[in-house]
Structure 1
């Protein structure tokens, strides 16, 4: 006689590894008589075909194992499975009668978007309800940006979704899933990377509010000072160890207790800005691959692997560019201004199409968030046509944002002994001075791979020519309507 399947609900943790302010988890608790399977997935395809690298996996696993341990101490089950989502849910639907899968909507890249469409088809065929909660004030299939800010403010002002963890009724997996279970994972993150997980996230938030935020506005553009003066919460928001609402309400509580702060007010604007950019990708997934303004398709940019390799390795001969890249490789973080300059340098001065560098940087940014990453890459590359065109002068940026050379000396040790007069432009040393400082340009440190005055002028001419063209201007109303202004927007849908 065939045994009846156990009826369960599933909470699928994606980019939301936390147990506080978690709407899907709260919804599952509202059905206490139905056991809930709590799981998260490490999907091989997201690394082999997507923008994830080992640093992301390790950061994610740190958060997942912390949740697993916390719930385990309370007698609950939380599973980390290494397999494709389709394989997991096919197998689960064969072992259980799945009533509802609870998760957040994910404004991810093309691979996760296609995966979710595939999963939705599977659920439909097998009679499984998929309850997806909106994430952080980002709206799916919204037809207009009208009132978007008002809606965001309403969402952020609502009470946190709190869960009575003691009353969870979690489902145990049968041993037929043992082959894809992740148990006691070895994490490869070095101390130079931020540690993942809700506990580390709250420590970071507390230190920002109680001390570091006082230097926020002063530090935000400085590559060295930003490592302490900025919030450093971006990876915890990207991987969901904290929600935007948690952070915003913590800031407001702090301000009520200690008084308002111009630094924290500036930071609060960045939190809204974050969701605003994610909404752009939610409304137009082609941003990942295609120029937002098609007029820029006529740019004649050919991939030069030699130039790209020098940029990727931090060997361009421009100290601040090289310091930024080497710091990013080692730590997974540089501030916003450095990210903008790295993109400007490769797309403007090296005249490379943005797609390849975009993918490379995504794998390095520990806080890789698709909805911020792709629109920002295009904004800095100048392929939107509605924003101010910024072509960064690498020497000017170096002198203005690292005036003492602290950042350059830390990350380009070859230049450590140079006086400030040559630190930003070491190629200006005479041959005798190079001997005196034991730094032969072109040998111990590379010569500049381009002449930035010439490349900047060329890029400016080419981009402004297209930006001012009738063709580019003809796309402006549609771009503004889809991505910024209150007007018609198509929006994502998995139907």
Structure 2
């Protein structure tokens, strides 16, 4: 949305993307997400070239980059879309202060959500911490808005700054290509989403999440589609915004339990157990298939995510933060708010979480959602050759988890 309004200002527009070293420095050099961002920017640049314009790509400390840009260009106005993660909020505030000190006006816009953190609140103005009433209020507000406007910028493309900036190679940014790729999304599978979404072998998911995460598809377009197509799919999009507003109002959830009463849990945090979980060697086929899918492709089916997360926290009594950090490394659709929210849901320590005494039985989950073993055989080729024994007995692990949680809950 920021671009839409920038192109209608009185000044020519330089489209800018900064590869932020504060984020990049923690990533492996073959991170597939960076390559996806790079390729998406390359496509944008090619389109701009047809209008005698180009993308300005920079890499570095964002504040230092802007200090250089202010000296190089006469920056009158800066338009950007808002981000709701704690680091991004602080970064953007610092840059805005710098720009305003140099007589540049800044304009921020809502773009990656339908409703921002303060638009859907309880009657007293406080944020919702339970999903269902949040969803109901979200839908109430949405029904007053629809149809959502989509912002087509193509008619204003002649307002771009005439330029031919050098477009760096991926290697110049400091990265190389990964064998893992982001798949193109499809909406063809969503008509029966509520019937197929729990069955990983069906492969009926949209692969939309990385595209939503990195902004290569409009959330307004997707919500308009979901409203016409499938209520269950729309609910998943609302969950996304629920977790984003939780992160905004309660930034402690990045590293701490939303429910502080669970801070007293005595986790086992066994490093060898964690390693076996990461590698998909637990002896529970659905857990192992999910982890192998993640390691090989950067994707994991949503139902399987719940099973593997519950197994780590409940069966192995390993802190959710360990699993959240591993998913952050591997998931192509990694989103801080959703990842933290879902991991705390599985661990029972978050807002509107599964109760601590709910312990998924991986074998029952397998029978319910992959009865013919199609999914597990795809990711565990040795399954029929005599698969290994489970690393922990379910009944024992369940009793241990419930007792440990019960003893650790602070009154």
TM over 0.5: yes
Contact 2:277 2:288 in 1 (8 A): yes
Change (3 A) 1:164 1:267: same
**Which residue of structure 1 aligns with residue 69 of structure 2?**
92
CA contact (8 A) 2:30 2:176 kept: no
Aligned to 2:260: 294
Aligned to 1:278: 244
Deviation of 1:83 after TM superposition, in Å, equals 2.0
The offset of 1:316, in angstroms, is 1.3
The answer as to whether partners of 2:211 and 2:217 remain within 8 angstroms in 1 is yes
Q: Which residue of 2 aligns with 1:349?
A: 315
CA-based RMSD: 2.7
The counterpart of 1:247, out of the listed 196, 199, 222, is 222
Q: Is the 8 A contact 2:30 2:178 kept in 1?
A: no
Q: Aligned to 2:398, what secondary structure does the other structure show?
A: helix
What is the deviation of 1:383?
0.6
Match of 1:394 among 362, 367, 378: 362
Indicate which of 82, 85, 91 corresponds to 1:115.
91
- CA distance in 2 between partners of 1:275 and 1:46 (Å): 23
CA 1:249 to 1:125, structure 2 compared with 1: closer, same or farther past 3 Å? same
Contact 2:3 2:153 in 1 (8 A): yes
Pick one of 134, 139, 144 that aligns with 2:126. Answer: 144
The correspondence for 2:209, drawn from 234, 238, 263, is 234
| Alpha-carbon separation, structure 1, partners of 2:145 and 2:255 | 31
Corresponding residue for 2:104? 128
Match of 1:171 among 147, 161, 184: 161
- Give runs of aligned pairs for residues 150-169 of structure 1, distance below 5 A: 150-154=140-144, 157-169=147-159
Distance 1:387 1:356 in 2: 18
Q: Helix, strand or coil for the counterpart of 2:392?
A: coil
For the pair shown, the structure with the greater C-alpha radius of gyration is: 1
Pair 1:325 & 2:294 matched: no
- In 1: Cα distance, 2:329 partner to 2:109 partner: 27
Counterpart in the other structure of 2:132 = none
The offset of 1:278, in angstroms, is 1.5
Specify every segment of 5 or more residues in structure 1 that has no aligned partner in the other structure, as ranges: 1-22, 256-260, 419-436, 440-444, 472-495
Partner Cα separation in structure 2 for residue 139 and residue 96 of structure 1: 32
Q: In 2, distance between residues paired with 1:24 and 1:385?
A: 32
- After TM superposition, give the deviation of residue 170 of structure 1 in Å: 2.5
User: How big is each residue's C-alpha offset from its partner over 1:109-129, in whole Å with a ceiling of 9 and x where there is no partner?
Assistant: x44343223323323433332
Other-structure match for 1:29: 7
* Aligned residue runs from structure 1 range 53-72, under 5 A: 54-72=31-49
Asked if the contact 1:104–1:132 (Cα under 8 Å) also holds between the matched residues in 2, the reply is yes
Distance 1:218 1:63, change over 3 A: same
Give the superposition deviation at 1:45: 2.1
Aligned residues: 392
